[in-house]
Amino acid sequence: MSRIDTLLIANRGEIAVRIIRAARRLGMRTVAVYAEPDRDALHVRAADVAVPLGGSSAAESYLDVRKIVAAAERTGAGAVHPGYGFLAESAPAAAAVEAAGLTWVGPHVEAIRLMGDKLEAKRVAAGVGVPTLPSAALTGDTPFVLHEQAAAVGYPLLVKAAAGGGGKGMRLVETQDGLAGAVATARREAQASFADPRVFAERWLVGPRHIEVQVVADRHGHITHLGERECSIQRRHQKLIEEAPSPAVDPALRRRLGEAACALARAIGYDSVGTVELLVDPDTGEFFFLEMNTRLQVEHPVTEEVTGVDLVALQLRVAEGEPVVRDLSDAAAEGHAIEARLYAERPGAGWLPAFGTLHRFRCPDELVRCDAGVDDGSEISTFYDPLLAKVIAHGTTRDEAIGRLVRALTTMQIHGVETNRDHLVAVLEDADFRAGRTPISYVEDHPLLLDASPGQSVRTAHAIAAALVGRHRRRLADEHWRHAPGGWRNVDRDHHEVVAFDTGGATLEVTYRVGADGSFAATVGDETLEGRLLEISPDRARLEIGAVMVSCAVNQVGARIWVNSAAGQTELRELSRFPERRAASAASGPTAPVPGRVVRVEVEVGSRVTAGQTLVVLEAMKVEHRIAAAADGRVAEILVGEGANVDAHQLLVRVEEQP
């Protein structure tokens, strides 16, 4: 056996922090690496030593295996753990690490190569009797050739990256007309994410469930599995909510899935932690092989929570040569675990990524496990995946686990960037989800959940709390009022104060009066409420409204205010009492919703365009976004070119109204 004394983690974010935690428990020294935007990131501060890789993009940093190896040699690291993404499923990267005399924490190079090529993986799976879906390589450059290649698969089909996963380089194609455009987009995303533009077509099933099996193999020829995970709640083919065990898998199906996964692992001499992904028809019990991920999965914590097995520690022990599978004979699943991925993104705006400074990040650790890659002050950039954290709950039953997760997500304080938190809560509370009716089309089938937010009564209470805390702060800042008793004033008792908030495009005005005894009356919009102010401080208010007591935390950064209570979080922006006059812009046309790079301009000056027509294709965080015309008109000016980097809200195309 080869002891690992110093481990380099060739990754970032929550998975780097997770690996550091496991390595330390095993007595290992840890080394982090970082690109320039991550200089002050949590994983950099959590490691014993950190090495800069330079650059900002993944290609300049985390994907450069030569820099990774050099960092390991410089710090005396004897092993490299790739986490997931980036280099984790790169056979050349694993080979380069081993050629340098270092230990690769993962399976042997040939297993990565076989399973990394998704078409080759399907051939191996079919060879050991695991059912597969019809597929074909898409190598053509003309629509005619592509159509001919796809004919063997049939429509609908999914265009997929041959060298990747995680939803990158994947496009659903309903009819022949959409094939060429989907292939071009998938190739660009695959190149950006995996440095490999190859794609293939695979038959698309309607209404299946996405089930995966966790396999564990050591370097002594022992292989087992730790049950399945349900991963059907997805957006853009990327998972959002995962759970173990699956509510759609009975013991007989579980046994068949486990046998198939172990047979595939055995066929390639697998020797690490890995996952076999399948599509399952819950009505017939039929299943089909999708891919094998030769790495740690993002959702590995749900398996850890139900089995009590530390999968990262297991990986490290396998890499050291320990016969770990013999220790797993009693790792039976207990209870239910569920994980929600917290992303900086806007579900109701086409899943556009969000960015900015995370002013506050608080998770109720007594309820759940929170694997986070961020903390107060973290900068969320546009260079990398927008995953902030994974929140995992365990319970004796599925309902109990869901309840704990809902409570934890609802009460989290996440200030500074928009997230998908409200959408996650809405899904977890939805009747179909609670009943286990979750095909992979679930998110598309429930569009009303995309714009979920706290109800009007919550927003009203939060607005009153923000107004009263703001009033308290102003009194504390004024030396003449600082020592006056609460509610005292030198004007008539019917005097009212007014504050206006922007609540995300709509103005909400709060008119209120506070008495000396703490009683108050507040008019919010068209609603007038009476209550009592029980406690007040610069960052908290405890109110009684309509005989219901509400405790609110209030955090203000500049004009932005975040209010949290047990019912959720709202963001307000206090409007100036003396707004500046702003000249109306003569510009008219679409702007960039996020910083990014222009991939393609699809119109010319003078072109007639219709509402909804794509004008510019923008890439942000390795995903392409189509920027469309808001109304009919004529292109008067194109302000960007292909390859240009643009800022958020930058005007891209000037469109004149059609005469």
d(CA 458, CA 226): 42
Are both 297 and 433 inside the same structural domain? yes
pLDDT at 488: 44
pLDDT in tens, 406-432: 999 999 999 999 999 999 999 999 999
pLDDT in tens, 115-138: 998 889 999 999 999 999 988 899
pLDDT at 586: 39
In a domain, 570, yes or no: yes
In a domain, 615, yes or no: yes
Q: Any idea what DSSP says for residue 642?
A: T
Are both 447 and 462 inside the same structural domain? no
Are both 429 and 528 inside the same structural domain? no
Point out the least confidently predicted range of 57-71, 166-180, 365-379, 471-485: 471-485
| pLDDT average, residue stretch 256-280 | 97
pLDDT of residue 250 exceeding 60, the answer is: yes
Confidence of residue 546 (pLDDT cuts 50, 70, 90): confident
pLDDT-above-90 percentage for the chain:
71
Q: Which of 279, 271, 221 is nearest to 249 (CA)?
A: 279
Domain boundary among 152, 177, 203: 203
Are both 351 and 243 inside the same structural domain? yes
Domain that holds residue 625: 596-657
Are both 366 and 268 inside the same structural domain? yes
Domain boundary among 142, 172, 203: 203
Percent helix, strand, coil in the chain, to 5, is: 30, 30, 40
Greater model confidence, 151 or 492: 151
d(CA 619, CA 353): 11
Are both 389 and 364 inside the same structural domain? yes
Is residue 561 a contact partner of residue 555, using CB atoms and an 8 Å limit? yes
Confidence of residue 659 (pLDDT cuts 50, 70, 90): low
CATH number at residue 615: 2.40.50.100
pLDDT in tens, 339-358: 999 999 999 999 999 999 99
Residue 558 CB coordination number (10 Å):
8
Confidence of residue 480 (pLDDT cuts 50, 70, 90): low
Is residue 245 a contact partner of residue 334, using CB atoms and an 8 Å limit? no
CATH number at residue 197: 3.30.1490.20
pLDDT of residue 582 exceeding 80, the answer is: no
Confidence of residue 487 (pLDDT cuts 50, 70, 90): very low
pLDDT of residue 493 exceeding 50, the answer is: no
In a domain, 582, yes or no: no
Are both 429 and 307 inside the same structural domain? yes
pLDDT at 82: 98
Is 298 in a helix, a strand, or coil? coil
In a domain, 173, yes or no: yes
Are both 90 and 214 inside the same structural domain? no
pLDDT at 365: 81
Confidence of residue 592 (pLDDT cuts 50, 70, 90): confident
Point out the least confidently predicted range of 145-149, 479-483, 561-565: 479-483
Total tally of structural domains belonging to the chain: 5
pLDDT in tens, 192-234: 877 789 999 988 888 899 999 999 999 999 999 999 999 999 9
In a domain, 239, yes or no: yes
Are both 470 and 550 inside the same structural domain? yes
Are both 631 and 488 inside the same structural domain? no
| pLDDT average, residue stretch 449-455 | 95
For residue 439, what are its two tokens?
């095909």
CATH number at residue 35: 3.40.50.20
Confidence of residue 587 (pLDDT cuts 50, 70, 90): very low
Provide the pairing of β-strand 645-646 with 103-104: unpaired
Are both 393 and 508 inside the same structural domain? no
Domain boundary among 412, 436, 451: 451
CATH number at residue 529: 3.30.700.30
Q: What is the mean pLDDT of the chain?
A: 91
φ, ψ of residue 512 in degrees (nearest 5): -145, 160
pLDDT in tens, 157-184: 999 888 876 677 889 999 999 999 999 9
In a domain, 116, yes or no: no
Is residue 81 a contact partner of residue 313, using CB atoms and an 8 Å limit? no
Q: Which of 420, 44, 106 is nearest to 234 (CA)?
A: 420
In a domain, 245, yes or no: yes
pLDDT at 646: 86
Q: Which of 242, 456, 449, 238 is nearest to 347 (CA)?
A: 449
Report the b/e string of 175-203 with b at 16+ CB within 10 A.
Answer: eeebbbebbbbbbbbbbbbbebbbbbbbb
pLDDT-above-70 percentage for the chain:
95
pLDDT at 579: 47
What sign does the dihedral 479-482-487-488 (CA atoms) show? Answer: negative
pLDDT at 606: 85
d(CA 114, CA 107): 11
Is residue 401 a contact partner of residue 336, using CB atoms and an 8 Å limit? yes
pLDDT in tens, 92-109: 999 999 999 999 999 999
CATH number at residue 377: 3.30.470.20
Are both 247 and 396 inside the same structural domain? yes
In a domain, 585, yes or no: no
Return the amino acid letter for 528: T
Is residue 428 a contact partner of residue 406, using CB atoms and an 8 Å limit? yes
| pLDDT average, residue stretch 26-42 | 97
Contacts 24+ apart (CB under 8 A), 453-457: 453/422, 453/568, 453/570, 454/422, 454/567, 454/568, 454/569, 454/570, 455/567
Is residue 379 a contact partner of residue 357, using CB atoms and an 8 Å limit? yes
pLDDT of residue 482 exceeding 80, the answer is: no
